[in-house]
Structure 1
Amino acid sequence: MRNEKKKSFYQEFEVFSKRTATSPFQHQFCLLAPNEEVAMVMAQENFMRREPVADIWVVNRKHIRTLHPEEKRMLARIDNKDYRTTKGYGYLRKKWRQYEQKMLDEKEILSWGGDKK
């Protein structure tokens, strides 16, 4: 009975921070606290004293929405769009080498004509 009471008393909070005003937020850790105010104080005490921080977010985990398995299926690619990823351009290095070699061969051939002075 006592463990059940502790579970309902404490809430899980996720802590995010950013080092500078222009840097993105990064997840740091999660903590247990009875409410938002205590969670913020705990986050400041445990995190801000260790490194410089420009801002902190403390978010109750129950307010974070995740994708359901049905929704995750929608993220799968329907068609092949490898050309949008950088790995789709791997063949260009080989083509560029072939092009450069062709150019060098043409230059060499033109140089065989020599100057007729």
Structure 2
Amino acid sequence: MEKQSNSNNFYEVYEVFSRRTFKSDMQHQFSLLAPNQEMAFVMAQENFMRREPVVDIWVVKRSDIRKLQPEERASISRLDNKDYRLTKGYGYLKKKWRQYEQQVLDEKEIMSWGGVQRGTTDRK
């Protein structure tokens, strides 16, 4: 987005963030147009805080928010595979464990074969 100067446009875009409880994270709610920061704050309070229970509100001029440029995104991409750090990387273990359990013979199954008795060995 291009920066808009105050001389060309009377209004600036502001982003409104709020937090419902002291332990919750700030969440983006909406954008608004206002001539200055004080008016933007009043408008955010009137349009949002009277409808939703909040404990804190942030009003930030959009031009003051910096985002990553495409060339910066490429520089922070992961250089190696770290799937082992993500829980989804272990999803295959449940299936593998189930297969292992199906292959294990338990004592009841062995005894049901009939030819084998407990405590004796078959010598030939």
TM normalised by structure 1 equals 0.80
Q: Give the equivalent residue in structure 2 for 1:48.
A: 49
Unaligned runs of 5+ in 1: none
Matched with 2:21 is: 20
Structure 2 Cα separation of the partners of residues 6 and 48 of structure 1: 31
Task: State the alpha-carbon separation in 1 of the partners of residues 35 and 27 from structure 2.
Answer: 23
Q: Which residue of structure 2 aligns with residue 29 of structure 1? A: 30
Deviation of the 1:100 alpha carbon: 2.1
Match of 2:9 in 1: 8
The residue aligned with 1:89 is 90
Q: Report which of the two has the higher share of helix.
A: 1
Partner of 1:107: 107
Letter paired with 1:18: R
Q: Shift of the alpha carbon at 1:114?
A: 5.0
Counterparts of 2:90 and 2:78, CA distance in 1 = 19
Q: May I ask how many residue pairs the two structures share in their alignment? A: 112
Q: Is the contact made by 2:18 and 2:58 (CA closer than 8 Å) also made in structure 1?
A: yes
| Unaligned segments of structure 2, at least 5 residues | none
Q: TM-score, normalised by structure 2?
A: 0.76
Q: What SS does the corresponding residue of 1:9 show, helix, strand or coil?
A: coil
Q: Write the deviation string for residues 74-98 of structure 1: whole angstroms up to 9, x where unpaired.
A: 1322222222223321221122112
Q: Report the Cα distance in structure 2 between the residues aligned to 1:74 and 1:111, rounded to whole angstroms.
A: 63
